[in-house]
Amino acid sequence: MTFSIRAAIIAATTLAIAAGIGATAPGVAGEAEKTPVAAMNEAEPDQVPTMAESLAALEEETADSRIIDAIDETEATYQSLAAAVAAQPALSDDAELNCLAIGVYYESKGEPLEGQLAVAEVILNRAKSRRFPASVCGVLTQRGQFSFVRGGRLPQPPVSARAWKTALAVAQVARDDAWDSRVSNALFFHARYVSPGWRRARIGSVGNHIFYR
């Protein structure tokens, strides 16, 4: 065999081997054999939020923060009952509030603020208890319950009186549950100078009144 023929055979063999290696090399046949379905199943890269989406997320986070701040501010609004009373507007915004203030005024206008609040809480507790009329006005006008009521009608205190303005503010504090007295679950009370002989659970005394459940 001549040298030229031998060289040709070697060259052909080398090309064949190289072709076989290339056909089985990783990353070559794999790319060629990929189908459109396989390409669709590949995980897509994470999408970057648009400017509108980012702004919407920021607004939502800000709104949530404001709600939390408002709750915290409400819980920490008043440092004392006197501060809560002083912060109330000097007006009666509905008939129920007016009735509640009338009850506070005539039953406890000479009492300390906590004593007035305790009386207001008794009236509200009765309206919620289902054992008494379901409204504040109904609780006060119930026959035989409050001595200042005559003929089922409530008298109206002088609107310019300082004691009336205080009673109105205390009524708002009680209605809004902005402060609790030491006897906040009471349903009955009487003055210290009387002794009705009630067989009720005594829960405390505030000022010149004794409170019961």
Residue position matching structure tokens 């409530």: 154
Give phi and psi for 193, each to the nearest 5: -80, 0
- Say which residues have a Cβ less than 8 Å from residue 77's Cβ, sequence separation at least 6: 84, 87, 178
Using one digit for the tens of pLDDT, what is the confidence trace for 19-76?
444 444 444 334 434 444 444 444 444 566 576 665 566 566 655 555 444 444 444 4
Residue 57: the pLDDT is 62
- Is the model's pTM score more than 0.85? no
Any idea what the Cα angle at residue 150 is, between residues 146 and 155, rounded to 5°? 90
CB atoms within 10 A of CB 82: 13
In this predicted model, what pLDDT tens digit does every residue of 68-101 receive, in sequence order? Answer: 444 444 444 899 999 999 999 988 889 999 999 9
pLDDT in tens, 100-131: 999 999 999 999 999 999 999 999 999 999 99
Distance of alpha carbon 79 from alpha carbon 180, whole angstroms: 12
Domains of the chain: 82-181 (1.10.10.2520)
Which residue in the block uniquely carries the two structure tokens 């939020």? 49
Count H helices and E strands in the chain, helices first. 9, 3
What residue ranges in the chain does DSSP mark as E strands?
188-191, 202-206, 209-212
Specify the pLDDT at position 92. Answer: 85
Q: For residue 201, give Cα distances in angstroms to 41, 116, 131.
A: 74, 21, 16
* Residues 131-168 pLDDT 10s: 999 999 999 999 999 999 999 999 999 999 999 999 99
Q: Centre a 10 Å sphere on the Cβ of residue 165 and count the other Cβ atoms it contains.
A: 18
Measure the CA–CA gap between 92 and 170, rounded to whole angstroms. Answer: 12
Does residue 181 contact residue 169 with C-beta atoms inside 8 Å?
no
9/157 Cα distance (integer angstroms): 125
CA distances from 205 to 11, 186, 189 (A): 115, 10, 9
What count of residues does the chain have? 213
Beta bridge partners of 209: 191, 206
Q: Alpha helix locations (H) across 42-94?
A: 51-75, 81-86
